[in-house]
Amino acid sequence: MVKVMSDDPEDDMLGWDETVFRDEHVFEIDYVPETFKHRGGQMESLKYALRPAVRGSRPLNAMVRGPPGTGKTTAVQKLFSELRAQTDIKTVRVNCQVNGTRYSVFSRLFEGVFDYEPPTSGISFKKLFTQITDRLVEDEEVLVVALDDVNYLFYENEASDTLYSLLRAHEEHTGAKIGVIVISSDPDLEVIDELDSRVQSVFRPEEVYFNRYGEGEILDILRERAKRGFHEGVVTTNVLERVAELTANSGDLRVGIDLLRRAGLNAEMRASRTISVQDAEDAYEKSKYIHLSRNLNNLTDNEQTLVEVIAGHDGEQAGEVYSVFNDRTDLGYTRYSEIVNKLEKLGIVETEYAEIEGRGRSRALSLAYESDEVLDRLND
């Protein structure tokens, strides 16, 4: 059993079975804080869109946009938690990084509506869709769907079909009431413009924008997180201010949360009861890559293989890279090109077009990060 820290001020060294953490879970990415600060306006806009659902009507659709680490997912999770506690509304958040096809999205909706997973094979999309809508009509329930990181559906060319099915559900199945919240973290993605015209004609969402946190807001949020996660006296004000400064440089609050946890681990490695500024600065060298790590971890095996190939053939032409990739995967050029485009949109790969004598226009592929940083995280 791990002991908490001693109250003896003379005992400034941490024992092997002691810890600086009060609750380490507070620093995990999926933790939903009890107090959600500096997003009051955005929460009110989302509540406005969903208010009709409380009355049993189909809610307004919403589009939540903003850079990574600005509180978009947490806002929706907090809102869904309130709805489940106070109403009979069904809420399902789908992580599109993991569920990147229309079928897998609706599999998660089935699970949310029926409380068990659909069969892994032998059930068509139409049947899956019909069972979901029939249950909603039978129980007279409203379903609110959040497509989190919807940009991944665009990367797989699945966004229009998925949204079309959701938005047209009430026409195909009279009485089905489904509202959609799309959440995008890709600042370059123009969600409406990229959708098929058939979807654009019915998708008129309320837009809710989450801007980057200011350094003062970051400090306020991290102070609250540190208070819950560390024992008293572990983090001083000057350390928190340095962490907030580093976090503001990255623009991603998740970097700061991860940084605090790693800084705490660094202090424990030194058997120290307090976190130093150096602990935080050392932690930043790893925490600043948290966005890269998450993107790499959510890639398929073939996508990760292409990243490895590009790392070994950095700067080479797409055709030459494909030759090596094809030897390892047997995938065709069309799928290869789709993966390259996805990796570029994720900011993992950069492409540069050039005129190649005798071959016309071609593009060179290179990693957007140092190869060692990418490969280390691929093998984590």
Per-block mean pLDDT, blocks of 10 residues, the chain (380 long): 49 82 94 94 97 95 96 97 94 96 97 93 92 96 97 95 96 93 94 96 96 97 97 97 96 96 97 97 94 90 96 93 96 95 93 73 90 88
Q: Map residue 92 onto helix, strand or coil.
A: strand
Decide if 71 contacts 233 (C-beta within 8 A).
no
pLDDT at 356: 67
User: Considering the domain 40-209, what is its CATH architecture?
Assistant: 3-Layer(aba) Sandwich (3.40)
For residue 223 the two structure tokens come to 């102070």
d(CA 310, CA 344): 12
CATH for 24-31+214-288 is 1.10.8.60
Asked if residues 91 and 136 have their Cβ atoms less than 8 Å apart, the reply is: no
What are the helix (H) ranges across the chain? 40-54, 72-86, 102-114, 125-139, 151-155, 159-167, 169-172, 191-194, 197-200, 215-229, 237-250, 253-269, 277-287, 290-297, 301-312, 318-329, 333-345, 371-378
pLDDT at position 13: 79
Q: Strands 349-356, 360-367: parallel, antiparallel or unpaired by DSSP?
A: antiparallel
pLDDT given at position 353: 84
Per-residue model confidence (pLDDT) at position 319: 92
Distances (CA, A) of 318 to 214, 293, 362, 372: 40, 24, 7, 21
Distance of CA 208 to the CA centre of its chain: 17
Read off the amino acid at residue 251.
G
Radius of gyration over every alpha carbon of the chain, rounded to an integer in angstroms: 24
- Residue 252 contacts residue 295 (beta carbons within 8 Å): no
Q: At a CB cut-off of 8 Å and minimum separation 6, what does 116 contact?
A: none
71 is in an annotated binding site: yes
**Residue 361 pLDDT:** 73
Q: How many CB atoms lie within 10 A of CB 192?
A: 13
Phi then psi for 43, rounded to 5 degrees? -65, -40
213 is in an annotated binding site: yes
Number of Cα atoms under 13 Å in the Cβ half of residue 344: 14
- What is residue 77's predicted lDDT score, i.e. its pLDDT? 97
User: For residue 358, what pLDDT is reported?
Assistant: 61
Lookup result for tokens 């080479």: 316
Beta strands in the chain (DSSP E): 62-65, 90-95, 142-148, 177-184, 206-209, 349-356, 360-367
Would you list the domain boundaries of the chain?
A: 24-31+214-288, 40-209, 300-378
CA distance 256 to 244: 7
Q: What is the pLDDT of residue 360?
A: 67
End-to-end CA distance of the chain: 28
236 is in an annotated binding site: no
Instruction: Write out the DSSP string of 138-174.
Output: HHT-EEEEEEETTHHHHHTT-HHHHHHHHHTHHHHST
Closest-CA residue to 341 (of 369, 318, 371, 313): 318
Residue 225 assigned as binding residue: yes
CATH of domain 300-378: 1.10.10.10
How much is the pLDDT for 354?
Answer: 74
> Which pLDDT score is estimated for 1?
46
Give the C-alpha separation, 267 to 13, whole Å: 10
Distance CA 86, CA 89 (A): 9
Closest to 68 (Cα-Cα) out of 310, 325, 258: 258
The pLDDT of residue 16 is 80
Cα–Cα dist 237/232, whole Å? 12
The total number of residues shown for the chain amounts to 380
106's CB contacts (< 8 A; 6+ apart) are 125, 128, 129, 132, 165
Bridge-based pairing of strands 206-209 and 62-65 is: parallel
For 162, phi then psi, to 5°, come to: -65, -50
> How do strand 206-209 and strand 90-95 relate by DSSP bridges?
unpaired
Do the annotations mark residue 73 as ligand-binding? yes
